């Protein structure tokens, strides 16, 4: 449908993508976001359904799952696109409290938008993610995620592609992702949960106090390539994992959930890549957060205070 919000086209400096030659990575300069909505009171939430006298981003009295263009985008067409996904019209809910049916609808929204945005000529990679919690800088509490269409392959994804390529060269017939997942299933000590189609484990070299990777057992490059049964069974596993996160310290966990997907259109890369969800919390203890300070932000060396096997054990024991 046409966007009825009357976004202020053209009054901002458009976002810019700049290349950092010292490390060979793109950086996005997006000045107009400085004015974005910042922790509004609950009765002014722009992601609630519209009600008489209070029009919001969503021109409807209620909704299931809704996707729209971000009013304060870091990337704008034709150089990319930023969308918001509202998981529910219930302001007080969270992803962890969604029903499995609703989680399935969110999965379908991710699939649909990955397909639609992936078909745009400017898109190299589609990124679905959720930031949850004021502790990581979330500016709107309403349960929602975001979808970015990047016009470049992101640095983290490029690293994975390079590693998968090198691995394939060193291990003819082998696949990096398959072998990592198989090793975690073999070891078992870091597995948090699994079902017929997915496994959730704390990675052997976890960066974050509580970090879980959720891989499909049958490797596919992105969400649209998942089978129907895999799409169906993701929600129940993910809800279980999120509820364990919230149970760790007896209060809602601040977390980032990041869908790793293969770049679009590059058949060679897609044949080797495995989509997966990375979900991690910055809370390392009750009342203590993990900060990215000098070693992480300066040198890219993560220091994790929690042994991964111990993190997995604590997540398994929740509930």
Query: To the nearest whole angstrom, how small is the minimum distance from the Cβ of residue 231 to its own copies?
Result: 21
- Nearest distance from residue 115's CB to its own copies, in Å? 20
Does position 41 interact with its own copies (CB under 8 A)? The reply is no
Residues 196-215 interacting with its own copies (rule: CB under 8 A): 203-207
DSSP three-state, residue 145? strand
Under the criterion CB under 8 A, does residue 45 sit at the interface with its own copies? no
Closest CA to 241 of 272, 184, 199: 199
Nearer to its own copies, 33 or 236 (CB): 33
48 binds its own copies (CB under 8 A): no
Would you say 261 and 223 are in contact if contact means Cβ atoms under 8 Å apart? Answer: yes
284 binds its own copies (CB under 8 A): yes
- CA–CA distance, 35 with 203 (Å, rounded to integer): 37
Instruction: State CA 301 to chain mean position distance.
Output: 22
Compute φ and ψ for 5, nearest 5 degrees: -80, -15
Tell me which residues in 13-32 interact with its own copies (CB under 8 A). Answer: 13, 16, 18-31
Out of 37, 105, 146, 195, name the contact with its own copies by CB under 8 A. 146
Binders of its own copies in range 155-174 (CB under 8 A): 155-157, 159-160, 162-163, 166-167
Q: Which of 54, 141, 144, 276 is catalytic?
A: 144
Residue 276 annotated as catalytic: no
| 147 and 125 Cβ atoms separated by less than 8 Å | no
| Shortest distance, position 305 Cβ to its own copies, whole Å | 5
The answer to whether 114 touches 261, Cβ cutoff 8 Å, is yes
Peptide bond into 78 cis (omega under 30): yes
Query: What would the x/- binding string for its own copies be over residues 245 to 274, using CB under 8 A?
Result: -----------xxx-x--------------
Position 286 contacts its own copies (CB under 8 A) = no
Rule CB under 8 A: say whether 298 interacts with its own copies. Answer: yes
In whole angstroms, what separates CA 72 from the centre of its chain? 18
- Rule CB under 8 A: say whether 220 interacts with its own copies: no
Binding residues for its own copies restricted to 72-131, rule: CB under 8 A: 74, 127, 129-131
Contact 151, 79 (CB under 8 A): yes
Q: Select from 38, 52, 172, 186 the one that contacts its own copies (CB under 8 A).
A: 38
Stretch of residues binding its own copies (CB under 8 A), selected from 3-11, 93-101, 111-119, 294-302: 294-302
Tell whether residue 222 is a contact of its own copies (CB under 8 A).
no
Q: In this structure, what is the dihedral angle of CA atoms 247, 248, 251, 256, given to the nearest 10 degrees? A: -100
What is the nearest approach in angstroms of its own copies to the Cβ of residue 239? 20
How far apart, in whole angstroms, are the C-alpha atoms of residue 78 and residue 257? 26
DSSP letters for 222-286: SGGGS-HHHHHHHHHHHHHHHHHHHHHTTSPPPEEEEEE-PPSS-HHHHHH---EEEEEESEEET
Of 61, 174, 229, 294, the one binding its own copies by CB under 8 A: 294
For the bound state, the minimum distance from the C-beta of residue 228 to its own copies, rounded and expressed in Å, comes to 27
Q: Could you give the residue numbers annotated as active site?
A: 144
């Amino acid at each position: 449908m046409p966007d009825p919000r009357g976004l202020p086209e053209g009054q901002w400096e458009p976002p810019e993508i700049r290349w950092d030659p010292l490390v060979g990575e793109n950086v996005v300069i997006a000045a107009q976001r400085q004015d974005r909505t910042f922790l509004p009171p609950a009765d002014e939430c722009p992601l609630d359904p519209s009600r008489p006298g209070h029009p919001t981003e969503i021109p409807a009295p209620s909704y299931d799952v809704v996707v729209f263009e971000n009013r304060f985008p870091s990337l704008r067409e034709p150089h990319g696109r930023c969308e918001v996904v509202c998981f529910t019209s219930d302001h007080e809910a969270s992803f962890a409290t969604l029903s499995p049916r609703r989680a399935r609808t969110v999965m379908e929204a991710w699939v649909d938008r990955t397909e639609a945005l992936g078909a745009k000529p400017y898109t190299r990679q589609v990124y679905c993610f959720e930031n949850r919690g004021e502790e990581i800088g979330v500016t709107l509490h309403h349960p929602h995620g975001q979808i970015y269409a990047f016009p470049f392959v992101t640095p983290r994804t490029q690293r994975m592609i390079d590693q998968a390529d090198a691995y394939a060269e060193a291990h003819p017939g082998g696949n990096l992702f398959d072998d990592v997942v198989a090793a975690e299933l073999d070891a078992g000590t870091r597995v948090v949960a699994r079902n017929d189609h997915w496994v959730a484990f704390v990675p052997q070299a976890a960066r974050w106090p509580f970090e879980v990777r959720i891989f499909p057992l049958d490797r596919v490059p992105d969400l649209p390539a998942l089978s129907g049964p895999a799409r169906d069974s993701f929600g129940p596993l993910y809800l279980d994992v999120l509820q364990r996160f919230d149970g760790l310290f007896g209060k809602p966990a601040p977390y980032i959930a990041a869908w790793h997907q293969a770049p679009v259109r590059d058949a060679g890369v897609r044949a080797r890549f495995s989509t997966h969800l990375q979900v991690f919390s910055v809370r390392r203890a009750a009342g203590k957060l993990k900060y990215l300070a000098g070693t992480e932000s300066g040198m890219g060396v993560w220091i994790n205070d929690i042994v991964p096997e111990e993190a997995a054990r604590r997540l398994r024991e929740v509930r």
